Amino acid sequence: MSISYQSTRGGEKNLSASMAILKGLADNGGLFMPDAIPELDVPVEKLADMSYQEVAYEVMKLFLTDFTEEELKYCITHAYDSKFDTEEIAPLVKADGAYYLELFHGSTIAFKDMALSILPYLMTTSAKKNHVENEIVILTATSGDTGKAAMAGFADVPGTRIIVFYPKGGVSRIQELQMVTQKGGNTAVVAIHGNFDDAQTGVKKIFGDREFGKKLDEKGFQLSSANSINIGRLVPQVVYYVYAYVKLVKNGEIKNGESINITVPTGNFGNILAAYFAKQMGIPVKTLICASNDNKVLYDFFRTGVYDRNREFILTSSPSMDILISSNLERLIYLSAGCDARKNQSLMAKLSEEGAYEVTDAMREEMGDFIGGYADEKANAEGIKELYDQTGYVIDTHTGVASRVYRDYVKETGDHTPTVIASTASPFKFAHSVMEAIFGDQSGKDEFAIIDELSRVANVPVPAAVEEIRHAQIRHKRECDAETMENMVAEILEL
């Protein structure tokens, strides 16, 4: 069956997957959605014997129906190779009764690698298929992890450039070092004076500026997005939830057909939406637990039906979740409105004009698979310490939020359904906060001394991604205001 893509805000429809990947965002600011979520056509017993790459093919072929088998397998084998430090790609670790799905074994040690190691291949293949001659310029706003993972994927890929905007002071020291030391002649990094939402809004504005688009086209450029709004990121993320389920069956942890719950530390709502897609494809998932940090817009939304971003933006120790506008939620809104683009469009207009909207009871019922929870800074730190003290397993501050929310959920509900927790970053990426949670104040200590200590207590070698930046040279020093991001793009591309 062939799947086509349409904008969640109406207008554009019947796009092929490759066109949707190339465009990233629809002209009217909408996100691309498949006209149906396909069902898995291979039984669980068969998937259970497959490698990660083979499962990836079985899942992705159903969404990217205009890719040939050869094209898609080429993308998959080049993405999921020795860049990952384990053949399993996404291993499951059982600790304190839950299954931590470690999504941080790629080159930048956060879960963004799961999709961003394949996106450049999907994008360049899409460009070829559609006879695109322009150079593709990837514009990305990052709360810390996307930017580095996107640059690692796109660095020196012919026919592409990549420009990353991150909030100055809003990312961890390691995240910042990872970005500003990025190599590759086609990469640029800019620190903006503002928070992640400012960066994301600025990028969306540039995409929406038709005049600027024309100017770019004249100079042989066209924009695309590596943010999680791109369907080329969402689809590869569905893979690991299918993979996790079939491996739990294979390892005898659950019976085939038995339901699981999934807990995801959430920011832009991309990762948890992928879990929802896996459910729609036929994986037995009962409850999707959406875990937030102090920026608990989503928790409030699932509790009340009101999405309200009018609140203080709080910087936390889980910066990749410091987000008040969860872009991918729009896809769930659209689905729960029965794919009514006008209804979705009017809610999104309210969000941009008033900063808030309310969904109907019928829509809330459609979202009944989701529940929200949150962990504040103290609860998160306590949870990380408790898990370490009980099991010796060290998790990062994002996974910590999910872990704590999950344990609170079990206490409250007594629901002991086997649960997969998405483990979204290596603790080494947030070593300072992690060590502080377990051993108390770390102020005054050198970042790399803390990392070496973490390696000792967790009994895990320092990942190559961290060793790499220990002595690397700083290559990117650009800064700008959120209002002047477009000028910065023009300057970088020498328009």
**Per-residue x/- track, 412-441, ligand PLP (CB under 6 A):** ------------xx----------------
Q: Which is nearer to ligand PLP, 186 or 268 (CB)?
A: 268
- Residue type at 158? P
We find the least distance from the C-beta atom of residue 440 to ligand PLP, in angstroms, to be: 23
Contact (Cβ atoms closer than 8 angstroms) between residue 240 and residue 90: yes
What contacts 66, CB < 8 A, 6 or more positions away?
A: 2, 16, 17, 18, 129
We find the least distance from the C-beta atom of residue 106 to ligand PLP, in angstroms, to be: 11
- The binder of ligand PLP chosen from 161, 204, 247, 398 (CB under 6 A): 398
Site size toward ligand PLP (CB under 6 A) is 17
Site for ligand PLP in 123-152 (CB under 6 A): 145
Of 275, 309, 247, 335, residue with least CA distance to 36: 335
Q: Which is nearer to ligand PLP, 321 or 341 (CB)?
A: 321
- The binder of ligand PLP chosen from 15, 72, 95, 110 (CB under 6 A): 110
Strand 419-423 and strand 260-265: pairing? Answer: parallel
We find the least distance from the C-beta atom of residue 316 to ligand PLP, in angstroms, to be: 11
Choices 122-130, 259-267, 353-361, 460-468 (CB under 6 A): range interacting with ligand PLP: 259-267
Choices 43-51, 108-116, 377-385, 449-457 (CB under 6 A): range interacting with ligand PLP: 108-116
Q: Is 122 helix (H, G, I), strand (E, B) or coil?
A: helix
For residue 131, give both structure tokens: 């006879």
First to last CA, the chain: 43
Choices 34-42, 105-113, 357-365, 453-461 (CB under 6 A): range interacting with ligand PLP: 105-113
Contact (Cβ atoms closer than 8 angstroms) between residue 435 and residue 454: yes
| Cα of 121 vs its chain's centroid, Å | 18
For residue 454, give both structure tokens: 């973490």
Q: Which is nearer to ligand PLP, 270 or 463 (CB)?
A: 270
Choices 106-114, 173-181, 465-473, 475-483 (CB under 6 A): range interacting with ligand PLP: 106-114
Place of tokens 């390696």: 455
Q: Which is nearer to ligand PLP, 160 or 326 (CB)?
A: 326
Distances in whole angstroms, Cα of residue 175 to Cα of each of 168, 181, 264, 451: 11, 10, 21, 14
We find the least distance from the C-beta atom of residue 208 to ligand PLP, in angstroms, to be: 21
DSSP one-letter code for 50: S
Of 325, 366, 354, 359, residue with least CA distance to 344: 359
Q: Is 320 in the site for ligand PLP (CB under 6 A)?
A: yes
Strand 160-167 and strand 98-102: pairing? Answer: unpaired
Q: Which is nearer to ligand PLP, 195 or 320 (CB)?
A: 320
We find the least distance from the C-beta atom of residue 395 to ligand PLP, in angstroms, to be: 11
Site for ligand PLP in 33-72 (CB under 6 A): none
CA distance 20 to 64: 10
CA distance 327 to 342: 17
Q: Is 137 helix (H, G, I), strand (E, B) or coil?
A: strand
For residue 439, with 0-12 CB atoms within 10 Å meaning exposed, 13-18 middle and 19 or more buried, which class applies? Answer: middle
Strand partners, 92: 101
Site for ligand PLP in 215-234 (CB under 6 A): 228
We find the least distance from the C-beta atom of residue 49 to ligand PLP, in angstroms, to be: 29
Site for ligand PLP in 263-282 (CB under 6 A): 265-271
Choices 150-158, 188-196, 261-269, 452-460 (CB under 6 A): range interacting with ligand PLP: 261-269
Phi, psi of 352 (to 5 degrees): -80, -30
- The binder of ligand PLP chosen from 9, 23, 105, 112 (CB under 6 A): 112
Q: Is 23 in the site for ligand PLP (CB under 6 A)?
A: no
CA distance 258 to 464: 38
What contacts 314, CB < 8 A, 6 or more positions away?
A: 293, 294, 295, 322
We find the least distance from the C-beta atom of residue 237 to ligand PLP, in angstroms, to be: 8
Q: Which is nearer to ligand PLP, 126 or 295 (CB)?
A: 295
Contact (Cβ atoms closer than 8 angstroms) between residue 32 and residue 17: no
We find the least distance from the C-beta atom of residue 13 to ligand PLP, in angstroms, to be: 25
We find the least distance from the C-beta atom of residue 217 to ligand PLP, in angstroms, to be: 30
Q: Which is nearer to ligand PLP, 71 or 145 (CB)?
A: 145
Q: Which is nearer to ligand PLP, 150 or 192 (CB)?
A: 150
Q: Would you tell me which residues interact with ligand PLP (CB under 6 A)?
A: 110-112, 145, 228, 265-271, 320-321, 398, 424-425
